[in-house]
Amino acid sequence: MSAIRIGHPSPLGASVTKAGVNFSVVAPLATRVELLLFASGSAREPEQVIELDPRHRSGDHWHVEVLGVGLGCCYGYRVFGPLQPGGHGFNPSKVLLDPCARAITGWDVYERLQAVGAIPNTATCLKGVVTERDRFDFEAAPRPRHPWQTSLIYELHVGGFSRGPDCGVAPERQGTLLGLIDRLPYLQDLGITAIELLPVMAFDPQDAPIGRYNHWGYSPLSWFAPHPTYLVSDEPLQARQEVRQLVSAAHQAGLEVILDVVYNHTSEGNQAGPTLSWRGLADGHYYHQNSRGDYLDVSGCGNSIAANRPLARRLILESLRCWAIELGIDGFRFDLGIALARGEELMPLDMPPLFEEMEADPDLSDLKLISEPWDCGGLYRLADFPAQRVAAWNGRFRDDLRRFWKGDERCAWLLGQRLAGSPDLYGGQPAPLGRQITFLTAHDGFTLADLVSYDRKHNLANGENDRDGDNHNNSWNHGVEGPSSDGAIEALRQRQLRNLLTTLLLAPGVPMLLMGDEVRRSQGGNNNTWCQNNPLGWMHWQPDADDLALMDFLKRLINLRQTLAPLLNPEIPLASAPPSGPRDHGLAWREWHGVDLHKPDWASWSHSLAWSLADFRRGPLLWCGMNAYYQPMNFSLPLAPPGWLRVINTGLPSPQDLPAQPQPWSEPQVCLAGRSLALMVAAPLLQGVDLDGSRP
């Protein structure tokens, strides 16, 4: 039996000392705590139980130093205290996972249902594993630190990206962090600057309908440990090193790594859910509850983390530091992030303490921070998101672009606002640089290909009778639901894909692309593949000629955006009219047009819009016309003394729609086919530019 000492309350979790391991866990209202040491992850009973008496308590912390143990030690806790109906969830029949465990074992014996009720779960529990806490080697692989203005995010699922036929990854590495390394050259070639990974923190795969698997990972079991199925090695002590290998390879490839993190709820669900970790230690501190002890839910998952309270807040900040400093992660995207800005009784806070501390923390202050500005309780704060260094997903951008190209009415003016940086949503000024993420699609919803191929969701495969998933997608099948052999329908869909992508990448903001949109990845009309660990949720690695043509279009479009990035900076003041006097001669200006110059049609029935950028010294620089009407229209062009280059015309067949070498254009007008877009660029701006990759 291992000898023990009193130990120390800090650091939280299990940390190696000169003589053994120090264990520290928070349980404010507990009356007794037991530390259980297991011989292995699959052990059904502990080989030693260490009872912590009051000498091992410092305030809310219970701690002990166990001598003679070290890295790889497997452990859990039993916590005793009052079990009040609907109140504090002390349940000593359950072995609890340390919320700060940096590695987890016991997956081969884990049973979620055994953690419900009063039945002991000792034989089927997960265990924490003692690991190192080394810092990431930033000297060998420094952060790329791309500025927001040139950032382009690609959202992907680790388990689905490097998997399937022709993925080019060895079978044992498919669907893993190391398998993703093998596909980094593909992402480099595409031109993106950051990968945003759906949750990779350990989640509960059994939190799904019977016969299904939780694929997306929005059911956290831990905020510190990597998820085991994304690892090649079965050895828990290798888990963190595999994360570092991915991050290091990404940094060396010039790519930032952003994690989608779920701090708004846990896999423990509501009062009837399992007792796995947080609930059994301090549920009244970690979870929002009413006066009866019932869980309050604005996550849609049964519980909501009380991030306004010190213990929960400290745990989240510890987790962020772990991934950022120990594992090298470059940024975080907060799932339902505005839920973390709720205070007691779920009241919204203008100065939420979590974000205040995050922005003041020197270890976190220079990371890319992104959030969803909504939660399931109806709170939606975009321009007034209560953290000035957090970029918010602009859902209005997504919806208004979809509706305009779908042909809905009352959309022309809204599209103009989105192209101007959404001043209608940000107090009359464009969204500041780094404050909005613009996107068309994300994991939650239709893929881009399905957006133009389905009028409604098709989610029966999820086993919930098509009740799950959003019913309001602003999608259009263009005549036939799903795949079509009609050449005219397919041609129109191809054009719409290009219209949508071009509009996204010509707008101010930080654009985000969804995994596989560049090759028309389809989910068969399923807009919620959260439990589809199969080709529906995997990357498309067998592209046909049309898929490859779209990818070539997007590559050139990304290169074009990077070339024009200075003109698309929302922080450059743009006047609304040409200069009227010498004082204005340093200004650039944007003008709105219709088919005729200077005559935009903002009427509710309008389906067209044109805009131009110019400055006093160089004259017109850009002109873009957008025709969402089903008939062709002739648009007048402003006079550009250096001459125009026709860079994009989505009404033309590929690859003429966006050629590597843009074509000179001398006509005073351009005819836009129904549902098409054209972009003209002043010739000097693209002098020496090859849109297949090289820029001056």
Give the active site residues: 335, 372
What is the C-alpha to C-alpha distance for residues 234 and 344, in angstroms, rounded to an integer? 42
Give the start-end residues of each E strand in 43-102. Answer: 48-52, 57-58, 61-67, 74-80
Look-up of token digits 């599209």 = 415
Q: Identity (one letter) of the amino acid at 609?
A: L
What is the C-alpha to C-alpha distance for residues 102 and 130, in angstroms, rounded to an integer? 7
Q: In angstroms, what is the C-alpha Rg of the chain? A: 27
What is the C-alpha to C-alpha distance for residues 308 and 99, in angstroms, rounded to an integer? 18
Shortest CA distance to 573 belongs to which of 619, 510, 615? 615
Three-state secondary structure call for residue 519: helix
The answer to whether 289 and 268 have CB atoms below 8 angstroms apart is no
Q: Which segments of 48-149 does DSSP mark as H helices, in order?
A: none
Would residue 7 be called left, alpha or beta, if left means φ above 0 and alpha means ψ between -120 and 50 degrees?
A: left
What is the C-alpha to C-alpha distance for residues 197 and 562, in angstroms, rounded to an integer? 23
CB count within 10 Å of CB 134 equals 12
What is the C-alpha to C-alpha distance for residues 117 and 620, in angstroms, rounded to an integer? 70
Shortest CA distance to 656 belongs to which of 551, 502, 553, 517? 553
CB count within 10 Å of CB 363 equals 12
Give phi and psi for 270, each to the nearest 5: -90, -165
What is the C-alpha to C-alpha distance for residues 1 and 652, in angstroms, rounded to an integer? 77
Three-state secondary structure call for residue 56: helix
Cα–Cα distances (Å) from 482 to 23, 444, 479, 492, 515, in that order, read 56, 19, 9, 14, 20
How does DSSP assign 206-237, residue by residue?
Answer: T-SSTT----S--SBS-SSSBPGGG-S-S-GG
What is the C-alpha to C-alpha distance for residues 74 and 107, in angstroms, rounded to an integer? 13
